[in-house]
Amino acid sequence: MATERHWGIVLGLLVLGLAVRIVPVSAAVVEGESPSTADHHEFEALDGPFDSAIEVTRACLGCHSKAAEQVRRTIHWRWEFRHPESGQLLGKRHVINSFCGSVWSNEPRCTSCHVGYGWTDMRKPPPRADDRVDCLVCHDTTGTYWKLPAGAGHPPYAGIRSSKSSGAPGEPVNLARVARNVGLSGRANCGSCHFYGGGGDGVKHGDLDSSLVDPPRSLDVHMSAQGADFRCAECHTSRGHRIAGSRYATNARDTQGIDIPGRTDGSRASCESCHGPQPHGAAKLNDHVDRVACQSCHVPEFARGGVATKMWWDWSSAGRLGEDGQPLTIRDAAGHLSYLSTKGSFRYAEDVVPAYYWFDGDMRYTLRSEPIDADHPPVAINRFGGGPDDAEARIWPFKVMRGRQPYDTVNRTLLVNHVYGNDDTALWTNFDWARALAAGTAFADQPYSGEYGFVETVMYWPITHMVAPASAALDCGVCHARDGRLAALGGFYLPGRDRGVWVERLGWGLVVLVLVASLGHAGVRLWTRGRRGRQA
């Protein structure tokens, strides 16, 4: 009986360890031993030489026969997502954002972040052939694989003069070397696209940039080698190449608790899936969990890894040239870009305090076909649901991106601007907004009156990365104060911030009653003491 109890305890601890995923995959194996069951150096099919990355994919499919089919079903491949509640068709193919606008008519540049090769026309679906899937961008472990900035997903090949998006010269990729060294996706793999969205390092999200490739523990306690050393896939788990977690359908309040293998489906990229719904040792802190997102306290600021994020982008100012007639590049005192002739004016920031809003996970987007109210700016690129009376909503931190974008003053719709290409209509070459907008909207099959203006816009980005150690989480007084971080968030009573007139009157009334009672008691004592003295 004792032996059975002993083994029961051991097995229970093992299951608990798997459930909370305390040990990352990279630390769960013997040091120096690969977690893979195959040594890709031993496969002759990967010896090369390869003239193109497409040939590498064909070699991969010789063993991983279902991988390409799985990838082609995902949002990473299709760049579109049907929201299950709103019914909106979202994704890069359908949403205009506050940064470069849209991928329409700008495919050669934008599809350098597609997980495939050769998608050159957004009016058509991505390539249908299995060998057009890019296996290497997610599974390279050498750090040498990169895509051409304008190669429609292809890496540089021998004999092609090329440069990286930074402008620095780049060597052709040794495809055979990369193919023989594939492995689990790491932070650098995911970051090769997600860190650089919107036109540069850290530009778009605010909580995703190159500082997370090898972050200190103070920046992200989960991803740091001094912390949990998590790969992105530790939280963004996958099944059949479908990755958990989406900004289009955010899980704002996870009530299912710890993600237990065999009992739940492993599809939740949430704090609760590891830490549970009662993560704190103090009951008062746990009382906050149903109303405050974990990120609100545990991501005190974003863009705090030394990489600035863009907070303002004014497209209307694009096209100004220097005295020599050449395009301008201007930087601010911190070295951040403040003006480019090809893109307009910018404002960057680091160590940004988030804005806080009630959020229930329901995010609606302003699509190309939807009319906007340009008379009452800012126009919301996206709108979120939730409020203090919504049981599914919690207080979340956001990056608020603002700017000025082109719109059709007659049709009252946001416009697709054509900013990249070798043709003479691209804004990059002649700064002619009328022609650039005409080209972009025609390509996107969007009605265009020929009359345009610029309108101020706003876009909201939920913050969820750059999780600080518990010791750096926000103190109670940061929010529970008259001028605290939640000062502008109304609709509910917050102790320390709000005044309850009748509560305060009742409280002061009780104070007065206690004072009167105390004084009365003291008076009676003095009076009775005096009487005893006189009687004596």
Please give the pLDDT value at position 318: 93
Is pLDDT at 137 greater than 90 in this prediction?
A: yes
* Residue that wins the pLDDT comparison between 206 and 25: 206
Global pTM value: 0.85
* Residue that wins the pLDDT comparison between 357 and 150: 357
3-state helix, strand, coil in the chain (%, to 5): 30, 15, 55
Please give the pLDDT value at position 170: 72
For residue 228, the Cα-to-chain-centroid distance in whole angstroms is: 20
Is pLDDT at 181 greater than 90 in this prediction?
A: yes
Structure tokens belonging to residue 437: 């907008």
CB-based contacts of 361: which residues, under 8 Å, 6+ apart? 249, 250, 251, 252, 253, 385, 386, 392
Residues in the chain: 536
Average pLDDT, the chain: 88
* Residue that wins the pLDDT comparison between 452 and 109: 452
Please give the pLDDT value at position 128: 94
Please give the pLDDT value at position 16: 40
What mean pLDDT do residues 494-515 have? Answer: 81
Confidence of residue 241 (pLDDT cuts 50, 70, 90): very high
Q: CA nearest 184: which of 37, 323, 315?
A: 37
Please give the pLDDT value at position 33: 62
Confidence of residue 31 (pLDDT cuts 50, 70, 90): low
What mean pLDDT do residues 462-490 have? Answer: 95
Is pLDDT at 501 greater than 80 in this prediction?
A: no
The alpha helices in 103-233, defined as continuous H runs, are: 107-110, 136-139, 175-180, 187-194
Side-chain-side CA neighbours of residue 101 (13 Å): 28
46 within 8 A of 59, measured Cβ to Cβ: yes
Is pLDDT at 298 greater than 90 in this prediction?
A: yes
Please give the pLDDT value at position 247: 83
Is pLDDT at 261 greater than 80 in this prediction?
A: no
What mean pLDDT do residues 125-138 have? Answer: 96
Surface-to-core class of residue 377, CB atoms within 10 Å of its CB (0-12 exposed, 13-18 middle, 19+ buried): middle
What mean pLDDT do residues 62-66 have? Answer: 96
- Give the CA distances from residue 127 to residues 136, 153, 428, in Å, rounded to whole numbers and listed in that order: 17, 11, 27
Spatial distance between the Cα atoms of 393 and 390, rounded to a whole number of angstroms: 5
* 371-389 pLDDT per residue, tens: 999 999 999 999 999 999 9
Share of the chain above pLDDT 90, in %: 64
Spatial distance between the Cα atoms of 130 and 64, rounded to a whole number of angstroms: 11
* Residue that wins the pLDDT comparison between 467 and 249: 467
Q: Among the listed ranges 169-183, 201-215, 420-434, 439-453, which one has the minimum average pLDDT value?
A: 420-434
Confidence of residue 37 (pLDDT cuts 50, 70, 90): confident
Is pLDDT at 15 greater than 80 in this prediction?
A: no
Is pLDDT at 24 greater than 60 in this prediction?
A: no
Please give the pLDDT value at position 6: 47
What mean pLDDT do residues 167-179 have? Answer: 85
DSSP state of 340: E
Confidence of residue 259 (pLDDT cuts 50, 70, 90): confident
